[in-house]
Amino acid sequence: MASILVTGCAGFIGSHLAERLLLDGHRVVGLDNFDPFYDRARKQQNLRACLQHPRFTFHEADLRHGLDALVDALPADPVEVVVHLAAKAGVGPSVREPIAYLENNVVGTTHLLEWMRLRDIGKLFFASSSSVYGNTPERPFREDVSLLASCISPYAASKLSGEQLTYTYHHLYGLSVLNARFFTVYGPRQRPDLAIHKFVRLLRAGEPIPVFGDGTTARDYTFVLDTVDGIARGVAYLLTHDQVYETINLGNNRPVALLELIEAVGQAVHTTPRLAFQPMQAGDVDVTYADISKAQRLLGYAPQTTLTDGLQAFVQWMDQTEPVF
C-alpha cells in the first residue's frame, strides 16, 4: 500500500476520501488550512474518524504561504501520490473576490507543484471542476473539447489554470497527472453554502427557495461517495502507470433541472416547496453534463447512487448534525 498526501483533507470531499483511502489500506498524510469560508468546527468534525486511525497524520498549513511553509509543515517520510483537493471553491464568491481565488487556486497550486518537484514526488491527482466548460454548446461535455473561451467565472479560470500548470510540470519535469473535473458533488458533509444544503434549511424554516432564472438550468449532481470512488480508482491508476497525463470527467451523466431538484429535496424532507424567482447570478452556467466514458474506460468508474438515495443520505446526516427547525 502507498503513502498518499491529501490536501484539503478536512473538507467535504477530502474527509470522505481520507476515510476511503484508509479503508483501502493506504497511509494518509492530511493537509488543510481550515479556510474560514465556513466554520472550522465543522471541518474538525469531518476529521474525527481519521484522527483516531493509526495510519493517518494531519498537518495544518496554507499553500499560499510558499515552499518554506510546506517544508516546515510536512514530514520527510515518502509520499508516493498527492491528491490535490485544497482550493477556494464556489462560482458566486469568486465573482466578488477574484484575487483570493487566484491566490489560493493558482499560486497555492504552484507552490505545491514546486514542493513536489523538490521532493521528487512524481504522481498527482488534481481536482478540477466542470466549471471550466462554461456554456460550451457541445453536450455532454467531453474532455477533448476546446476550452479557449469557456471560462465565465474567476473560479473556472483558476481551475483551468491549475490544469495548465499540471501540464507544464508534466512536460518539463515528467510529473504523472490525472486531472479530474468534478460535477456538482453533494452528500453528507456538504458545504453549507451549496444549494442542497441551503434548500433543506430553508424548507425546514418554512421559507421560500430562491430560484435563479426560470428553473431550467441543470446540474449533473454526483453523490460524494461516487466521486470519492473515482478518486480512489484514480490513485490506483497513478500507482500503476508512469509518465501519464490524462483529464477525465467525474460526473453522473444525468443533468437535473433546478425545479426537478427542488421537488426532489421537498420530497426528501416531506415539505412542499414555495419558490421565489430571481434573476440569474453572474458566472452561473446553463447546464453541466458529463460524458464519463473516458473515466469508465480508464478507471472502471461507474456512479451508483440515485438522486433520491443521495438526498435521503444527506438529510439523514443533516438530522444528526443540524438543529431541526
pLDDT value of residue 136 = 93
Question: Which of the four pLDDT bands, split at 50, 70 and 90, describes residue 322?
Answer: low
For the chain, give the mean pLDDT.
Answer: 95
Pairwise CA distance, residues 107 & 235, whole Å:
24
Contact yes or no for 325/205 (Cβ under 8 A): yes
Give mean pLDDT, residues 159-185. Answer: 98
Q: Residue type for 247, please?
A: T
| DSSP-assigned beta bridge partners for residue 32 | 60
Give mean pLDDT, residues 91-118. Answer: 96
C-alpha distance from residue 263 to each of 204, 255, 314 (Å): 14, 15, 15
CA nearest neighbour of 141 among 158, 122, 156: 156
Report the range of poorest mean pLDDT among 66-80, 90-104, 197-211, 307-321.
Answer: 66-80
- Dump the DSSP string for 44-113: HHHTHHHHTSTTEEEEE--GGG-HHHHHHHS-SS---EEEE------HHHHHH-HHHHHIIIIIHHHHHH
pLDDT value of residue 193 = 87
Question: Which of the four pLDDT bands, split at 50, 70 and 90, describes residue 43?
Answer: very high
Does the structure show a pLDDT above 80 at 325? Answer: no
| 239 Cβ neighbours under 8 A, 6+ residues apart | 2, 80, 81, 123
C-alpha distance from residue 294 to each of 189, 251, 253 (Å): 28, 11, 12
The domains found in the chain, sorted by start residue, are 3-182+224-250+290-303 (3.40.50.720)
Question: Which of the four pLDDT bands, split at 50, 70 and 90, describes residue 78?
Answer: confident
Q: Which residues are catalytic?
A: 155
Helix axes 307-321, 195-204, angle to 10 degrees: 60
Give mean pLDDT, residues 26-54. Answer: 94
pLDDT tens for 220-256 read: 999 999 999 999 999 999 999 999 999 999 999 999 9
